[in-house]
Amino acid sequence: MMKRTRIRGKHLRVDPVKLAKAKLLLDVATDTEAVDRALTLVVSEGEIDETMRRIGGKGNLKRVFRNHSR
């Protein structure tokens, strides 16, 4: 689990349709919450992938999210 760090203001250009969908899927009220939760999911998935590569794919972990290439 990642430890909480100090939050800093950032200005991002974001597709409003994707952001609205993310807010619905993640069941959050604000844009900031949606971006934070989405980033948390990406980082967690990356950590799982890194662990799987490090152990050579030997284990019982299974990918549960689809890869989306766009």
**What are 45's two structure tokens?**
């998935």
**What are 40's two structure tokens?**
């948390």
Q: Which is more confidently placed, 68 or 56?
A: 56
**What are 9's two structure tokens?**
């203001």
* Residue pLDDT, tens place only, 37-51: 999 999 998 988 888
pTM, two decimals, is 0.67
How many CB atoms neighbour CB 42 within 10 A?
11
